[in-house]
Amino acid sequence: MTPGNQLSAVSARRWRILAAFALGVLTTPLVAQSSRVYRDGNMWVEESTGSLPAGHEFRAQTDIGSLQVRGTASQVTYVVRKRCTADSEQAARKQFEQLRVTASKVGDAVVLEGRVLGRNINRLVADFTVQIPRLTQVVKAETKGGALALSSIQGTVFGSTGGGAVELDDMGGLTKVVSGGGSMQAGSVNSDLYLQSGGGMVSVERVTGRLFVRTGGGKVHIGTSGPARIDTGAGNIEVNKCTGELWANSGGGSLYFGDVSGDVTAETGGGSVKLGSAQGYVKVITGGGSVELWKVEQGAHVETGTGAITVQFVGGRGQFHESYLHTAQGNVVVYLPRDLGVNVHASTEMATGSGVKTEFPGLAINTEGSQYGPKLMFAEGQLNGGGPALRVRTTIGQIDIRRTQ
């Protein structure tokens, strides 16, 4: 063999080795997966485990069962447990085959899917438990009807379930989750949070960013949040602390607010309203409940179809704005700072008790009507030189204007 032919043969062998090596690399599966079938009480279980290298995005979707995703691993690992009742292992395996689980890497996204292949799946249930890196940038998780749990994730999260319960905790990025009707619970969220349910209860412990909650008819409880917008078809709303503007609406439930740093706009079809304090302006409308507003700095607009009104104003000159308090049936008690400049216009069309009384000497009280029949009573005057108007009106009831202690 000539030197040239020898060189050609060596080069060919090298190319064959490189080609074989490359082929081996390309055909190495991305997913390390194993599965086993075993008996657990009266049910058969197929347990599949697998792992993939992490990506910037993680997507998970299942037609059957619950899904739990936690940001507690350096790569993507998952455990899928399918369960069914069957007379034999062979019959159980046929059921398990109806739900195909696949895991793959698509570009820079890891995708985990559970797809139903047949219709005879009435005896089959499943749950997906997944661990991903905490710093995964985008997470999308969906179940057709099973529960959804997400925790310890720093990236942006989009979740949805056809009707299952939702649990969230230790979330660092924007989080948006929709449920067709299940309850929704959130622990700590260090960003904006958007929750929507067709009719389930909603409970949130702490949100540092903006909060949006909408449910078709469940109770809403909020511990602490940033600016919040809350809407429920019929349930009560409770907000312990809001560090911004608060907007709340219920079709017929009661509203309970603690301390609010901004304006408050609240409306309910028929429940009572209670507020601990507000640094902004307060507007409350209820179809038929009592209203209690304490430590209001910038004024208030209150309307109730029937029920007592109690409002404590604490803002000084330059803070207090024109205010209006009206109930069709009920007593009204107003607390004003001793040195607040305000123009008072108060009236009760069918006075009960003492009608109108005040601790401020600057108000003139007048009465119209007979001694024995319904009486119209009204009080007008300027306090401390006057200022924005305070209008107080009750159709049936009495009005009491007091000094803030």
The CA distance from 176 to 3, in Å, is 70
Q: Which amino acid is at 58?
A: F
Between 352 and 400, the more confident residue is 400
The CA distance from 51 to 73, in Å, is 11
pLDDT grade for 20, boundaries at 50, 70 and 90: very low
Provide mean pLDDT across the span 75-98. 94
Q: Which of 147, 202, 138 is nearest to 175 (CA)?
A: 138
The torsion angles phi and psi of 248, rounded to 5 degrees, stand at: -140, 140
Say what the pLDDT of residue 14 is: 47
Q: At residue 70, does pLDDT exceed 70?
A: yes
The CA distance from 136 to 217, in Å, is 34
Say what the pLDDT of residue 371 is: 67
pLDDT grade for 403, boundaries at 50, 70 and 90: very high
Q: At residue 129, does pLDDT exceed 90?
A: yes
pLDDT grade for 25, boundaries at 50, 70 and 90: very low
* DSSP, res 209: S
pLDDT tens-digit map of 268-289: 999 999 999 999 999 999 999 9
Spatial CB neighbours of 250, under 8 Å, sequence gap ≥ 6: 231, 232, 233, 234, 235, 236, 237, 267, 268, 269, 271
Provide mean pLDDT across the span 255-261. 98
**Residue holding tokens 């925790």?**
151
Assess contact for 219 and 201: CB atoms under 8 A: yes
Say what the pLDDT of residue 369 is: 73
Say what the pLDDT of residue 29 is: 42
Which SS3 state, helix, strand or coil, does residue 125 take? strand
Is the full-model pTM beyond 0.85?
yes
- β pairing state of 211-215 and 228-232: parallel
Provide mean pLDDT across the span 295-321. 95
pLDDT grade for 161, boundaries at 50, 70 and 90: very high
pLDDT grade for 72, boundaries at 50, 70 and 90: very high
The CA distance from 360 to 149, in Å, is 58
The CA distance from 87 to 42, in Å, is 9
Cα three-residue angle 252-257-259, rounded to 5 degrees: 165
pLDDT grade for 31, boundaries at 50, 70 and 90: low
Provide mean pLDDT across the span 157-163. 96
Residue 121, CA atoms < 13 Å, CB-side half-sphere: 18
Which SS3 state, helix, strand or coil, does residue 9 take? helix
Q: At residue 9, does pLDDT exceed 60?
A: no
Provide mean pLDDT across the span 312-324. 93
Cα–Cα distances in angstroms (integers) from residue 60 to residues 138, 140, 146, 189, 237, in the given order: 11, 6, 13, 21, 33
Say what the pLDDT of residue 370 is: 66
Most distant CA pair in the chain: distance in Å? 135
pLDDT tens-digit map of 340-383: 999 999 999 988 778 899 999 888 898 887 666 678 999 999 99
pLDDT grade for 26, boundaries at 50, 70 and 90: very low
* DSSP, res 277: E
Q: What percent of the chain has pLDDT over 90?
A: 80
Q: Which of 260, 236, 40 is nearest to 247 (CA)?
A: 260
Q: Could you count the other beta carbons within 10 Å of the beta carbon of residue 139?
A: 24
Give strand pairing partners of 196. Answer: 178, 214
The CA distance from 356 to 379, in Å, is 7
The CA distance from 200 to 389, in Å, is 43
pLDDT grade for 3, boundaries at 50, 70 and 90: very low
Spatial CB neighbours of 295, under 8 Å, sequence gap ≥ 6: 276, 277, 278, 312, 314
pLDDT grade for 15, boundaries at 50, 70 and 90: very low
Which SS3 state, helix, strand or coil, does residue 5 take? helix
Q: At residue 217, does pLDDT exceed 60?
A: yes
Q: Which of 12, 150, 5 is nearest to 71 (CA)?
A: 150
Say what the pLDDT of residue 18 is: 41
Say what the pLDDT of residue 372 is: 66
- Give me 266's structure tokens: 């609240």
Provide mean pLDDT across the span 123-142. 96
The string of DSSP letters for 51-64 reads EE---SEEEEEESS
**Residue holding tokens 């209203």?**
291
Provide mean pLDDT across the span 227-247. 97
Provide mean pLDDT across the span 173-194. 97
